[in-house]
Amino acid sequence: MKTFAELGFPGRLIAVEGLDGSGKSTQIYLLKRWLEQQQLKVYFSEWNSSEIVKAATSKGKKRELLTPTTFSLIHATDFADRYERHLVPLLRAGYLVLCDRYIFTAFARDVVRGCPPEWVRGIYNFAAHPDLTFFFKADLEVSLQRILDGRPQLKYFEAGMDLRLSTDPYESFRIFQGRMLEQYLAMSTEFNFIVLDANQLIEAQQATVRELVSQRVDLGRFRQADRPAPKALRKPAKKVRELEKEIVE
């Protein structure tokens, strides 16, 4: 499959991938803020966030109804909904689309769960590849620590408990994340991942991300046209003007 640029889309898609706790969400958030502050057309989409599908997924997870096959298919449904209704139209309209996780998450996760790799890849073959994919590579222990320090209550599927790797959720999570990392690393070259050292400080990583994005993407093309700001943004501006008036008076 080709990238959106290769397919002639005016928009560009940037994805971040990595283990839970690798800091990828923080990095893409900071990238988004930076792009927005330059008045660029930006859209952000998160894995497993389709309004239509999410209810079913959370029910399946809560009641532990999911098997490797249905886990895979329901996430693919979620992705398809976001892809067809949001990502593609926005990319056609020349947006910079930022994705917290993309199809590679499924390639890694579903295969660790025991689904055949060709089957999973076949399902997602309707999706074009990102123009840039950042892979945040942290030491396994570092990402484990970040998650385990923050919220010690691990969820069933998050910990990979369905794989019966261990009866201890923490041990299960460790083994599961270790296998995910192996899958990611094995894909890295094939899908042109830009591998970043996620053990570095947040600022150092963000500097590299911004540097690479401005090198590889002609950001000037993504400026928003000069048009009145949405109402929500106009109001405070009015207040400022009133204040200025008061000061002058």
Contact positions toward another protein, by CB under 8 A? 50, 52-53, 55-56, 59-60, 65-70, 73-74, 76-77, 80-81, 83-85, 114-116, 118-119, 122-123, 125-126
Q: Tell me if 97 sits within 8 A of 46, measured CB to CB.
A: no
Q: Which is nearer to another protein, 40 or 88 (CB)?
A: 88
Nearest approach in angstroms of CB 220 to another protein is 32
8-state DSSP, 224 = P
Q: Which is nearer to another protein, 13 or 40 (CB)?
A: 13
Nearest approach in angstroms of CB 80 to another protein is 4
Q: Which is nearer to another protein, 53 or 108 (CB)?
A: 53
HSE, side-chain direction, 13 A CA sphere, residue 244 = 6
DSSP 108-163: HHHHHTT--HHHHHHHGGGSPBPSEEEEEE--HHHHHHHHHHH-----TTTTTGGG
Please tell me the distance from the alpha carbon of residue 116 to that of residue 96, in angstroms, as a whole number.
33
Nearest approach in angstroms of CB 101 to another protein is 17
Nearest approach in angstroms of CB 91 to another protein is 15
Nearest Cα neighbor of 137 from 164, 162, 108 is 108
Q: Which is nearer to another protein, 58 or 214 (CB)?
A: 58
